[in-house]
Amino acid sequence: MAPDPTSTPGSVRIGNASGFYGDRLTAVHEMLDGGQLDYLTGDYLAELTMLILGKDRMKDPSRGYAKTFLRQMETSLGLAVEKGVQVVVNAGGLNPHGLAVALRELAQQLGVDAHIAFVNGDDLAPRAAELGLGTPITANAYLGGFGIKAALDRGADVVVTGRVTDASLTVGAAAAAFGWGYDDLDAIAGAVVAGHVIECGTQATGGNYSFFSEIPMDRPLGFPIAEVASDGSSIITKHDDTGGAVSVGTVTAQLLYEVQGPRYYNPDATALLDTIALAQAGPDRVAITGVRGEAPPKDLKVSLNHLAGVRNEVDVVITGLDVEAKAALFQNQFEAALPSRPAELTWELSRLDRADADTQEQASAVLRCVARDPDPKVVGRPFSATAVELALASFPGFTMTSPPGNGAPYGVFEPGYVDAGLVEHRVNQPDGVSVLIEPSPLRTEPGRDHSVPDSGPVDDWGPTRRAPLGEIVGARSGDKGGSANIGVWTKGRAEFTWLDQILTVDNLKELLPEVADLTVHRYRLPQMNALNFVIEGVLGRGVAENVRFDPQAKGLGEWLRSRVVDIPEQFAR
């Protein structure tokens, strides 16, 4: 294969073709067909995905993996082998062995000589009680990249894993390419950062980007590529003639996604995010340099999902005048008529209505009632049928958004931790040999990040104007279990200095009243002109359990950007 003329000499090109289970189905073929790659990764797992796969496995023990990857390989396995691109994905979910068997059968059907390996040992559910993790339906340790490295070193064409960290897909590929060992901490940390940038697919090329109007969005966005060098530095780019863009801004936004403090813990190294230097290195090319690494923590994080009960909801539309009074009437009638009161009953009135509206929809609000209980009978059809029985006996204009239903099981996510030495990280090679991967001998008690104090006195920035914060500030937010983060950044240094002074924890709570009573941590990443806020408990017990309007906090940053503040006039729009 002819080398890509734009790639960095001595680097390997690691592409990504999936940011979640359900991402663009054609992306694998597009990435293989669109230009040179050495490795192609795909991230299919998230906290919620593990719960979904857990429910699948409870119904059928042969399931538990991302079936869409198998569909993608029907059209792409032969192309990957032909081009010499080694594929690394975590699509194995809870059953990497099952996916590997299915891939081998597929290769035989296609007549493709493909060597398939799988990494497992992350599934701790059978040992959860003895490890002090309770009795969850799923318990998966986040493994590192050296099992992937071992499989690639042995010549695997496809490596499927269970729950590795998202960045470990890139770490394993780069470690195999350059022969890194556990003591190459800075290089591994650089690959962790590169992996974090590309793990969410098109979020690195303009997807979910605050300044989206600056991005070419007239065609499907290209998926990202990390050109990783032997020292761990990288260039983030994409195939030519694909939509979207790669800029310092798009890369910064993704670097701030779902992180906490400056230390980004991974099983093979802890990357120090406050050492990252970003620079535009050409059209759709951003250089990441200077990343430093520390020893990894001695414990592995464990994703735990518990079935907590059944959830049901009723959504009632309230139109026109006296919205608050109508809502109070229905709530009182409904609770009095319930045959059994659920363990949890939550009411939320969304005032989407406006006065003297031109359309009925614009004149309407939605009253939502969510019930949760361990007993499905309490929150099943009798619960939702109670609302229907009030249809002719409550407020004027009563209507519902959906018919009564039986509700559905819901789960609760929580993190756990277990000593890495107690986890059997194994790689099962294409020749059937199973190899135990020893954890890093460097692992230690992790350094702890501390929420930084506010920056002190505010400078005189001259005349100001009232405008949305988002005119000059970008944001990216996301869920971390029951918590959420909001990363904010500016394009210029002066704007960051101003933002650092005015966006205190207290000011954030004023701008976002919903978090006023919660614990908020503030971290500084000045080399990226960025701040990161971590809001504890805003998502309850995780995305599968909470009933917040935005259960994964994806829009939390955009809400912050919409708030009006005093912006110095010197920062022209």
Of 140-144, 327-331, 535-539, the one with minimum mean pLDDT is 535-539
Cα 551 vs. chain centroid, distance in angstroms?
Answer: 13
Helix 381-389 × helix 323-337 angle, to 10° = 130
β-pair partners for 565 = 467
Report DSSP letters for 491-550, one per residue.
Answer: SSHHHHHHHHHH--HHHHHHH-GGGTTS-EEEEEEGGGTEEEEEETTTTTT-TTT---SS
What is the maximum span of the chain, computed from C-alpha positions, in angstroms?
75
pLDDT exceeds 80 at position 421:
yes
Cα 105 vs. chain centroid, distance in angstroms?
Answer: 31
Alpha-carbon span 525 to 476, nearest angstrom:
14
Residue 341: its pLDDT value, please?
96
Confidence of residue 543 (pLDDT cuts 50, 70, 90): low
Query: What's the whole-model pTM score?
Result: 0.94
In contact, 560 and 511? CB cutoff 8 Å: yes
Residue 5: its pLDDT value, please?
47
DSSP code for 376: T
Share of the chain above pLDDT 90, in %: 88
Confidence of residue 3 (pLDDT cuts 50, 70, 90): very low
Residue 410: its pLDDT value, please?
86
Share of the chain above pLDDT 70, in %: 97
pLDDT in tens, 246-263: 999 999 999 999 999 999
pLDDT in tens, 195-242: 999 999 999 999 999 999 999 999 999 999 999 999 999 999 999 999
Pairing of strands 116-120, 158-161: parallel
Residue 548: its pLDDT value, please?
72
3-state secondary structure of 437: coil
Instruction: Decide: residue 104, CB within 10 A, 0-12 exposed, 13-18 middle, 19+ buried.
Output: middle
In contact, 246 and 286? CB cutoff 8 Å: yes
> What is the mean predicted confidence (pLDDT) over 541-555?
76
Mean pLDDT of the chain: 95
pLDDT in tens, 371-407: 999 999 999 999 999 999 999 999 999 999 988 889 9
In contact, 287 and 278? CB cutoff 8 Å: yes
> What is the mean predicted confidence (pLDDT) over 453-479?
93
Runs of H (alpha helix) within 372-436: 381-389
pLDDT in tens, 164-186: 999 999 999 999 999 999 999 99
Counting DSSP H helices and E strands in the chain, the numbers are: 13, 26
Nearest to 196 by CA among 256, 140, 276: 256
Residue 2: its pLDDT value, please?
41
CA angle (520 as vertex; 567, 261 as ends), nearest 5: 95
pLDDT in tens, 315-338: 999 999 999 999 999 999 999 999
In contact, 244 and 202? CB cutoff 8 Å: yes
Nearest to 192 by CA among 164, 152, 153: 164
Sheet-wide strand order for 520-525 = 473-480, 483-490, 530-535, 520-525
In contact, 92 and 73? CB cutoff 8 Å: no
pLDDT in tens, 35-59: 999 999 999 998 889 988 988 888 8
Helix 67-83 × helix 96-110 angle, to 10° = 50
